[in-house]
Chains A and B, each alone.
Chain A
Amino acid sequence: MRRFALIAIPYLWLVLLFLAPFLIVLKISLSDAALAIPPYAPTLKDGIGTLIAELDFENFVFLTQDDLYWKAYLSSLRIALISTLLTLLVGYPIAYGMAKAPDEWRATLMMVVILPFWTSFLIRVYAWMGILSNEGLLNQLLIWLGLIGEPLTILNTNTAVYIGIVYTYLPFMILPIYAALDRLDASLDEAAQDLGCTRTQAFWLVTIPLSKNGIVAGCFLVFIPALGEFVIPSLLGGSGTLMIGKVLWEEFFNNRDWPVASAVAIILLLILVIPIVLFQRNQQKQQEAEQ
């Protein structure tokens, strides 16, 4: 009896508040927009028969016909991909430096990397608004150095979005790479150098391939949330920054078109399924390798 309750309580909670809402989104994505409250038809009040008969893929067809959505999906993929690679470029040297640091520094370095993760995401994005704006600190610095005459427009462009994503997701990249590098046997690197590799060659031929699992895990941990990101493009991006999370938000709150917003959500999920499955496989392979 107790065992039953133990299973049933969290189970029911998730069915009611995760699975059911998800099925509602699926259902509404197949409905039509209507001038009613709630603003879609058919509803359960129309009876199960009409409800099923009237569901169709109209919204999905609409999404394929309107350029906006294609562009938004493609541009989300591009922004997420580019910023993941940039995060890797910034994060790998930091993780490498941490792994090579003296043992007694490790705990402190670890805390220093994790601390920003506990600070509010919104605040960390906001911090860049003051730095990147036309009168912001970065432009003041560059003008003072004499590198530029006119302030650069960075805020409200895709560049600002890249900076924002790299900045906020950096700990997610550093930690798995650090974990992989930390486990690495330093004597392998020495062996490569003894056998005639230069330090650079040893790095590319030994260290990088052996930290591959960390790199892959870090990239997925950045790519997956970046794809559906809303806060960064809406605060740092401009009107030209198309990201699907932002489109969904506007479709729902500004246009009040619930069926289209739901259809956008379903397609976003379908796109996410591929990287998520790949990520899971990578994690499983890693676990099996460890055993």
Chain B
Amino acid sequence: MKRMSWFNVTSLTLGFAFLYLPMLVLIFYSFNASKLVTVWAGFSVRWYGELLQNEAFLDAAWVTLKVAVISSSIATVLGTMAAYVLVRGGRFMGRTLFSGMIYAPLVMPEVITGLSLLLLFIGIGLDRGVLTIVLAHTTFSMCYVSVVVSSRLVSFDRSLEEAALDLGSTPWEAFRLVTLPIIAPAVISGWLLAFTLSLDDLVIASFTAGPAATTLPIKIFSAVRLGVSPEINALSTIMILIVTIGVVTASLVTKQGVIRAQKEAQAAERAPV
């Protein structure tokens, strides 16, 4: 095993302390009995109780979840289609414009995306609500999905698809039976990315949401603007916990998959031909 120099150990320790301490402080104060966030007055789960009774937050959480599930699912389908077209589609009219429209939203400042979509919705007279947030989120997250999926499509052996076509598959069968299983991990990460982006988005949702539908980040933002509050700390703790469990589980599952694949490869090598 390589020994690490004191410099590297220090920089990693300080770096990770910087990344994690603020969130640990936030979690710690969510269990504070006092309304004043900065004064410790003993352990209490009071704010979690109040949070669960706050209907406005619960409603917003439900809207956010609904928007995230619907928009990330549509975005995954559209993004995968777009990636397939870009990588395998060959030449067609307006290809440059198409790839431009896929990459531009990734670097577009959120305020501009939000403003432009709002002006469109007002222009065509669409009432702002869940539908408009879903449309907005689908549009920017499909571009992220498409980038993730196309990096996987580029790296895999095209002859596998061609073999399926040679053996009599229709293009759709070749896609469903050969391509899709191979790119599935990328499609799943694309969906997860789209889902988190949607859960997280404040700016675009603020422009495209109407009085009829408020998402959780909008709710949090307007509460936080007035200052720090223990209820928001409790809510943040719950959200951090969910994400941590999700990411750790996902990485353990991938790790096991890698180990299994290695074992299978070793077994295959050892097997008599």
Interface residues of A, Cβ cutoff 8 Å to B: 2-3, 6-7, 9-11, 13-15, 17-22, 24-25, 28, 38, 90-91, 93-94, 96-98, 100-102, 107, 109, 111-116, 118-124, 126-131, 133, 135-137, 140, 167, 170, 224-225, 227-228, 230-231, 234-235, 245, 248-249, 252, 258, 261-262, 265, 268-269, 272, 276
Q: Which of B85, B224, B246 is within 8 Å of A126, CB to CB?
A: B224
For B, the interface residue count at a CB cutoff of 8 angstroms equals 81
Bound Cα distance from A157 to B45, whole angstroms: 33
A131 cross-chain contacts in B, Cβ below 8 A: 22, 25
A-B contact pairs, 9 of them (CB 8 A): A21-B120, A24-B119, A120-B217, A126-B232, A127-B23, A131-B22, A249-B111, A258-B119, A265-B111
Bound Cα distance from A120 to B221, whole angstroms: 12
A276 cross-chain contacts in B, Cβ below 8 A: 107
Which residue of A has the minimal Cβ distance to B227? A129
What is the 8 Å Cβ interface bit string for chain B, positions 55-85, against chain A (1 contact, 0 not)?
0000000000000000000000011011011
Bound Cα distance from A14 to B117, whole angstroms: 12
B135 cross-chain contacts in A, Cβ below 8 A: 17
Q: By the criterion CB–CB under 8 Å, are A248 and B247 in contact?
A: no
Q: By the criterion CB–CB under 8 Å, are B224 and A235 in contact?
A: yes
Q: Which of B16, B18, B89, B220 is within 8 Å of A167, CB to CB?
A: B18
Q: By the criterion CB–CB under 8 Å, are B92 and A7 in contact?
A: yes
7 shortest interchain CB distances as A-B pairs: A228-B109, A21-B116, A93-B11, A94-B15, A127-B22, A97-B12, A21-B120
Which residue of A has the minimal Cβ distance to B136? A17
Which residues in window 93-152 of B have CB below 8 A to A? Answer: 94, 98, 101-102, 104-105, 107-112, 115-117, 119-120, 122-123, 135-136, 138-139, 142, 146
What is the 8 Å Cβ interface bit string for chain B, positions 179-222, against chain A (1 contact, 0 not)?
00000000000000000100110110000000000000100110
Q: By the criterion CB–CB under 8 Å, are A17 and B22 in contact?
A: no
Interface residues of B, Cβ cutoff 8 Å to A: 1-2, 4-5, 7-9, 11-12, 15-16, 18-20, 22-23, 25-26, 29, 37-39, 78-79, 81-82, 84-85, 89, 92, 94, 98, 101-102, 104-105, 107-112, 115-117, 119-120, 122-123, 135-136, 138-139, 142, 146, 171-172, 196, 199-200, 202-203, 217, 220-221, 224-225, 227-228, 232-233, 236, 239-240, 243-244, 246-248, 251, 255
On whether A18 and B111 interact (CB within 8 A), knowing A119-B240, A124-B22, A133-B38, the answer reads no
Bound Cα distance from A228 to B248, whole angstroms: 32
Given contacts A21-B116, A268-B111, A269-B112, 7 further A-B contacts (CB under 8 A): A6-B89, A13-B78, A91-B15, A120-B236, A126-B236, A234-B225, A276-B107
On whether A123 and B240 interact (CB within 8 A), knowing A25-B116, A100-B8, A265-B111, the answer reads yes
A93 cross-chain contacts in B, Cβ below 8 A: 7, 11, 15
A25 cross-chain contacts in B, Cβ below 8 A: 112, 115-116, 119
Q: By the criterion CB–CB under 8 Å, are B109 and A24 in contact?
A: no
Q: By the criterion CB–CB under 8 Å, are B22 and A114 in contact?
A: no
A6 cross-chain contacts in B, Cβ below 8 A: 81, 84-85, 89
Q: By the criterion CB–CB under 8 Å, are A235 and B225 in contact?
A: yes
Bound Cα distance from A268 to B8, whole angstroms: 39
State how many angstroms separate the Cβ of B244 from the closest Cβ of chain A: 7
Q: By the criterion CB–CB under 8 Å, are B117 and A7 in contact?
A: no
Q: By the criterion CB–CB under 8 Å, are A24 and B236 in contact?
A: no
B220 cross-chain contacts in A, Cβ below 8 A: 122-123, 126
On whether A265 and B1 interact (CB within 8 A), knowing A93-B15, A124-B23, A235-B224, the answer reads no
State how many angstroms separate the Cβ of B225 from the closest Cβ of chain A: 7
Bound Cα distance from A249 to B118, whole angstroms: 12
Q: Which of B203, B240, B246 is within 8 Å of A231, CB to CB?
A: B203
State how many angstroms separate the Cβ of B252 from the closest Cβ of chain A: 10
State how many angstroms separate the Cβ of A288 from the closest Cβ of chain B: 15
A101 cross-chain contacts in B, Cβ below 8 A: 4, 8, 12
On whether A123 and B26 interact (CB within 8 A), knowing A14-B102, A116-B19, A137-B38, the answer reads yes
Q: Which of A2, A94, A123, A230 is within 8 Å of B111, CB to CB?
A: A230
